[in-house]
Amino acid sequence: MPAEGSWDPVVVTPIGRVDAVVEFHRDEGRLRGTAQGAGERVPLEDLVERGE
């Protein structure tokens, strides 16, 4: 299954639950993306794919 696209994970932490949106795309062959939730947006870089 390709990683590219939009995903809606729920992250459970000791201080509570965060409904997030994670988007992955390819930039010059490299997997990159952004994650946002709880009012913050974080770039995702230098990602490593494992498995199929």
Which amino acid would we find at residue 4? E
At 16-28, the pLDDT tens digits run 999 999 999 999 9
- Asked whether residue 14 is domain-assigned, the answer is yes
What per-residue confidence (pLDDT) applies to 52?
Answer: 67
Domain count, the chain: 1
Low pLDDT (below 70) residues in the chain: 52
Give φ, ψ of 48 to 5 degrees.
-120, 130
Q: What is the pLDDT of residue 37?
A: 92
Q: Is 39 within the bounds of a domain?
A: yes
Q: Which residues contact 23 (CB under 8 A, 6 or more apart)?
A: 5, 6, 7, 33, 34, 35
Show the domain range for 23. Answer: 5-44
In a domain, 50, yes or no: no
Predicted TM-score of the model (pTM) = 0.76
To which H or E segment does residue 49 belong?
A: none
Looking at the domain assignment, is residue 21 inside a domain?
yes
- H helices present in the chain, as ranges: none
The Cα 52–Cα 47 span in angstroms is 15
